[in-house]
Amino acid sequence: MSAEEEAVLGEVMNLLQTEPEPPSGPAGGIVPTTPGPDVPALREQLAVLVLTGKAKEAIGVQLTHEQVRRLRDKDVKKYTKRYETYVGSKSTESLINSFIFLVTKAVRMRLT
C-alpha cells in the first residue's frame, strides 16, 4: 500500500472514529438553552420534500402541499425528525459503501 493510500485510509478511519466535541458556552461549559425549532422553516422543508415526490419514501406518509400547510406544529416536528433520520441513515450507508470501496481498491492494488 502506498503512502498516499495509507493517508487516505487513515483519514477515513479518523472520520469514522471521531466523536463531536461538546459545545462550550460562556458560563464554564454550560450551554444556555436555545429557543425551540423554527416551525415555519421546518414546514417549508417538508413542503420541498413533498414537491420532490420523496415524502412517502422519506417520512412514510404521502402528503400534499395543502396537507403540509395544515399540519399541527407537533406533526411538523414529528415528520421532520423522521426526515432527519432518513437522511442520516442514507449518509451512513453512503459512508460505509465508500469505505468498503476504498478498502477493496487498496486490497486490489496490494495484490497486483
Give the residue extent of every domain in the chain.
38-112
More confident residue, 36 or 95: 95
* DSSP conformational letter for 30: B
Q: What is the pTM of this model?
A: 0.60
- Residue 32 pLDDT more than 60? no
Residues 35-71: tens digit of each pLDDT: 678 999 999 999 999 999 999 999 999 999 999 999 9
